[in-house]
Structure 1
């Protein structure tokens, strides 16, 4: 049984997120998602529209996701891979090369982002609409 792991904030859950989760799940049997906590996002100067529990509830409704846990810091990835006996780490192509150091623990795959959609872009559009 192959276990796949990915990480993210998954704020304003959208088609691009669904595509990443779908393609990640296709690589194995079980998909684990490390969901960034509000505190971790804050340390990255990132503000989510939905809080951690709300984002977790949304992810629970996604049929591709089998297990969700907290992502609290950058350094936990190696521990998570070992703890959950992960076979494949999947990240978006915008992270290309940044997690290659984990390839001794599992296979690392970078999937292309879905063109034309991102949480940042959605937030910018919503903000522009408020300013009109």
Structure 2
């Protein structure tokens, strides 16, 4: 399987999720920008994948990241980020979403388990009501402290300014 085989449109993803469900698979969903992949991301996603059978990643489009994080982001385009994320062995599906939050995507996918990092409370996780209403679970996983794309960018900028 190529990493591109794990990048889905929403209709394709819904078909795939339904097929997994027919096989009795538990669907885990998480989302984010994943602009520069780092240890914190890998650790978080690996832990999230262990909560069920199939991990679906909602990935912000370039436009949504620019709206959320400002005009200098993302650092990598959406297809590069999607391909990198899809190459991770514990991610089963990647789908892009253009909204500021994954609410509509979560409503469409109806995951069994919704996951975010422990910097969120369950009540602050977008889509928690949708998942809980259908009997699913909303969980947080511990984050590796000190890793963030913003910190990496700041470190690079600091080093550039010193040279």
User: What is the TM-score of this pair, normalised by structure 2?
Assistant: 0.74
Map 1:52-91 onto structure 2 (within 5 A): 52-74=78-100, 76-77=102-103, 79-91=104-116
Tell me the alpha carbon deviations over residues 66-106 of structure 1, each in whole angstroms, 9 at most, x when there is no partner: 001012224542x4334334100001122223124342243
Whether contact under 8 Å (2:30, 2:56) holds in the other structure is: yes
Aligned to 1:130: 160
The change in CA–CA distance for 1:95 and 1:72 in structure 2 (over 3 A counts) is farther
Segments of structure 2 that go 5 or more residues without pairing to the other structure are: 1-24
Tell me which stretches of 4 or more aligned residues in structure 1 moved more than 6 Å. Answer: none
Measured against aligned partners, the alpha-carbon deviations of 1:8-58 in whole angstroms (never above 9, x if no partner) come to 111110111001110011001100000000111112134121111110111
RMSD: 1.6
Match of 1:36 among 60, 69, 76: 60
Instruction: Write 1 or 2 for the structure with the bigger share of helix.
Output: 2
> Which of these two proteins has the greater Rg computed from alpha carbons?
2
1:18 pairs, out of 12, 36, 42, with 42
Q: Distance in 1 between matches of 2:115 and 2:80?
A: 23
Q: How many pairs were matched up?
A: 131
Question: What 5-or-longer segments of structure 1 have no aligned partner?
Answer: none
